[in-house]
Structure 1
Amino acid sequence: MNDRPEVELANRNGRLHPAQRGTLLDLTFWLTAAVVVAGLAVTVSLALVAETSGEVLGTVVPLGAVTGWFAFVCWRRLADAFGGRLVAVTGWTHDFDSAHLTDEYPIGLHRSPEGFKSLESFSLRAGGRTYPLERKLRERIQPERVNTVLIAPRSKLLVNVLPA
């Protein structure tokens, strides 16, 4: 999906292509949205049956705050998916292999070797943050060359990698 010419053109212009919305509106988003709906229903129900201000302060307010946080997380993903600009980090990409990632290079690649109770995993560091690097994007990035990494600014999710 990320290697289609129209997707790459949109990304190079700093926009998320509609075909990439699923990257932001994934299972995590929908589970979080379900928590928001359930949290709202429970909060309203408890507020309606609360008899004292202590019950409201002790249960409704904390539950409302937690539900509000989950709603904020959903809003960030929605804002990125439907109108947010992408942040591009372009620069030399160094492969640290399994050594510690640093900000010495604009983009750094890291491999966590397979170990006891863990599978081999890959991550990418750009713009002062580390992102998990899924297989599709790992195959696209070219170490020891200049690449462009595209990040959704509000949700801080890695969207695409483009060889420069």
Structure 2
Amino acid sequence: MNDRPGVEPANRNGRLHPAQRSALLDLNFWVAAALVIAGLVVTVSLAAVAETAGAVLGTVVPLLAITGWFAFVCWRRLADAFGGRLTAVTGWTHDFDTARLTDEYPIGLHRSPEGFKSLESFSLRAGGRTYPLERKLRERIQPGRNNTVLIAPRSKVLINVLPA
């Protein structure tokens, strides 16, 4: 995904490359979209068969609130995927290894060791927020030097890592 021609120049200009949209329109997005559709269908169905205003308020309003939240989540992902600018955090990258992440450095790396019922995992902290670090991006970032981390601003999804 990040190895395609044109991805790095687009990211350096603060734009999401079309090949990277799948990072935002992933399973989480489609599950939320399905929940919005289901919520609307159930809400309309319940409102149509409700006999009293109390039944409508008691069931339809909470369902609309939950459906609205999932619609908001979908909107943020779509806005980032089709027109948003990427947020770039550039700076020295420090490897904390298994120590607690802090904001002492612009970019911090953390490794959670394998343990009982857990696999080894990696995370990255940039801009005051911690992101899970998938294998492809973990291989791209190099501690002990300057890197640029690109983040979708509305949905707060880590998109790419580039050498600064």
Asked if TM exceeds 0.5, the reply is: yes
**1:21-40 → structure 2 map (5 Å cutoff):** 21-40=21-40
Question: Which residue in the other structure is 1:90 paired with?
Answer: 90
Matches of 1:42 and 1:144 in 2, distance apart? 53
Task: Find the residue that maps to 2:51 and give its secondary structure.
Answer: coil
Cα distance in 2, alignment partners of residues 163 and 50 from structure 1: 59
Q: How many residues align?
A: 164
**2:14 is the counterpart of 1:18:** no
Counterpart of 2:133 in structure 1 is: 133
* Residue 106 of structure 1: how far off its partner (Å): 0.1
* Structure 2 match to 1:151: 151
Q: Structure 2: give runs of 5+ residues left out of the alignment.
A: none
Q: 2-side partners of 1:101 and 1:4: how far apart?
A: 32
In 2, the alpha carbon distance for the partners of 1:4 and 1:150 equals 16
Q: What is the alpha-carbon distance in structure 2 between the residues aligned to residue 44 and residue 161 of structure 1?
A: 44
Corresponding residue for residue 122 of structure 1 = 122
* Ranges of 4+ aligned residues in structure 1 off by more than 3 Å: none
Greater alpha carbon shift after TM alignment, 3-12 vs 52-61: 3-12
**What secondary structure does 2:6 align onto?**
helix
Q: TM-score, normalised by structure 1?
A: 0.99
| Cα-Cα RMSD | 0.6
Using the TM superposition, give the Cα deviation of residue 163 of structure 1 relative to its aligned residue in structure 2, in angstroms. Answer: 1.0
Structure 1 residue 5: deviation in Å? 3.9
C-alpha distance in 1 between matches for 2:40 and 2:23: 26
* Farther off after superposition, 128-137 or 43-52: 43-52
SS of the residue 1:142 aligns to = coil
Q: Secondary structure at the match of 1:151?
A: strand
AA of the residue aligned to 1:9: P
Q: Give the Cα separation in 2 of the matches to 1:47 and 1:85.
A: 40
TM-score by length of 2: 0.99
Q: Distance in 2 between matches of 1:25 and 1:125?
A: 23
Q: In structure 2, how many angstroms separate the alpha carbons of the residues matched to 1:46 and 1:144?
A: 58
Q: d(CA) in 1 for partners of 2:13 and 2:40? A: 38
Give 3-state SS (helix, strand or coil) of 1:31's partner.
helix
* Counterpart-to-counterpart distance in 1, 2:4 and 2:13: 14
Q: In structure 2, how many angstroms separate the alpha carbons of the residues matched to 1:80 and 1:64? A: 24
**Do residues 44 (structure 1) and 75 (structure 2) align?**
no
